[in-house]
A and B are shown apart, each in its own frame.
Chain A
Amino acid sequence: MSDPYSNMKLVDENGVRLDGRRLDELRPIRIEAGVLNRADGSCYLEWGNNKVLVGVYGPREVHPKHMQNPLRGIVQARYNMASFSVSERKRPGPDRRAVEISKITSEALEAVVLVDQFPRTTVDVYIEVLEASAGTRCAGLTAASVALADAGIPMKDMVVAIASGKIGDHLALDIGRAEDNFGQADVPFGVIPRTGEIVLLQMDGHLTKEEFETVIEMNMRAAMQVYELQKAALVRRYSAFAGLAPGEESEPAAPAAAPVATGPMAAAPVAELGHPEGFKEPLAPPPVDAKVEAVLVEGEAAPEVEGEEVEEPNGDDEASSGGGY
Chain B
Amino acid sequence: MPSDDMVDLVPQYPEAAVRRPRGPDGKPLPRELVVPGQVLAEDGNVKPGMGAYREGGRIVASTLGIKNVAGGYASVIPLGGQYIPRVGDVVIGRITDIGPSNWLVDINSPYPAPMHVNEVPWHVEFGETSNFLKPGDAIIVKIARVTESKRVQVSMQGPGLRKLQGGQLLEVEHSKVPRIIGTQGSMISVIKKYTGCRLVVGQNGLVWMDGTPEDIGLAMEAIGLIVEGAHAYGLTNKVKEHLQRAKGIDPVKEAEEEARRAREEQERRAREEAERRARDEERVRQDREKAEQARRERDERDARRREEERARIERERPRDTVEEEDYLDKATDDELCRDADPGKQGLVTVLSPDGESLMVLDEEELAECPPEKKEGQGQGGEGQEGRNADDTQEGQ
Is B66 in the interface zone, CB < 8 Å from A?
yes
Q: What band does the interface of chain B fall in when counting residues whose beta carbon is under 8 Å from A?
A: 35 or more
Compute how far the CA of A61 lies from the CA of B106 in the bound complex, rounded to whole angstroms: 12
Contact A241 B33 (CB under 8 A): yes
Q: Which of A154, A192, A231 meets B63, CB within 8 Å?
A: A154
Is A276 in the interface zone, CB < 8 Å from B?
no
Encoded as 1 (CB less than 8 Å from any A CB) or 0, chain B from 43 to 71 comes to: 00000000101000000101111100000
Q: Which parts of B15-63 form the interface with A (CB within 8 Å)? A: 20, 28, 30-33, 35-39, 51, 53, 60, 62-63
Compute how far the CA of A241 lies from the CA of B78 in the bound complex, rounded to whole angstroms: 11
Residues of A within 8 A of B66 (CB): 241-242
Contact B37 A242 (CB under 8 A): no
Residues of B within 8 A of A151 (CB): 80-81
Residues of A within 8 A of B36 (CB): 112, 149, 154-158
Q: Which parts of A68-94 form the interface with B (CB within 8 Å)? A: 70-71
Q: What band does the interface of chain A fall in when counting residues whose beta carbon is under 8 Å from B?
A: 35 or more
Q: Which of A59, A149, A158 meets B82, CB within 8 Å?
A: A59
Encoded as 1 (CB less than 8 Å from any A CB) or 0, chain B from 222 to 258 comes to: 0010011111111000100000000000000000000
Contact A245 B64 (CB under 8 A): no
Contact B32 A260 (CB under 8 A): yes
Residues of A within 8 A of B35 (CB): 149, 158, 230-231, 234-235
Contact A324 B173 (CB under 8 A): yes
With A61-B112, A245-B232, A322-B227: A154-B62 Cβ-Cβ less than 8 Å: yes
Binds B, one of A115-123, A205-213, A294-302: A115-123
Residues of A within 8 A of B31 (CB): 241-243, 259
Residues of A within 8 A of B20 (CB): 245
B39 vs chain A, min Cβ distance (A): 7
Is B172 in the interface zone, CB < 8 Å from A?
yes
How many A-B contacts at CB < 8 Å in the complex? 139
Is B267 in the interface zone, CB < 8 Å from A?
no
A55 vs chain B, min Cβ distance (A): 14
A51 vs chain B, min Cβ distance (A): 23
B35 vs chain A, min Cβ distance (A): 5
Compute how far the CA of A194 lies from the CA of B36 in the bound complex, rounded to whole angstroms: 11
Compute how far the CA of A70 lies from the CA of B148 in the bound complex, rounded to whole angstroms: 9
Q: Which of A153, A154, A239 meets B33, CB within 8 Å?
A: A239
Compute how far the CA of A238 lies from the CA of B172 in the bound complex, rounded to whole angstroms: 18
Contact A149 B64 (CB under 8 A): yes
Q: Which parts of A112-164 form the interface with B (CB within 8 Å)? A: 112, 114, 117-121, 149-158
Is A40 in the interface zone, CB < 8 Å from B?
yes
B347 vs chain A, min Cβ distance (A): 107
Q: Which residues of A contact B (CB under 8 A)?
A: 40-41, 58-61, 70-71, 112, 114, 117-121, 149-158, 192, 194, 230-231, 234-235, 238-246, 258-260, 262-263, 318-319, 321-322, 324-325
Q: Which residues of B contact A (CB under 8 A)?
A: 20, 28, 30-33, 35-39, 51, 53, 60, 62-66, 78-82, 84, 110-112, 148-150, 171-173, 175, 224, 227-234, 238
The 5 closest A-B pairs by CB, nearest first: A152-B81, A157-B37, A259-B30, A152-B80, A242-B33
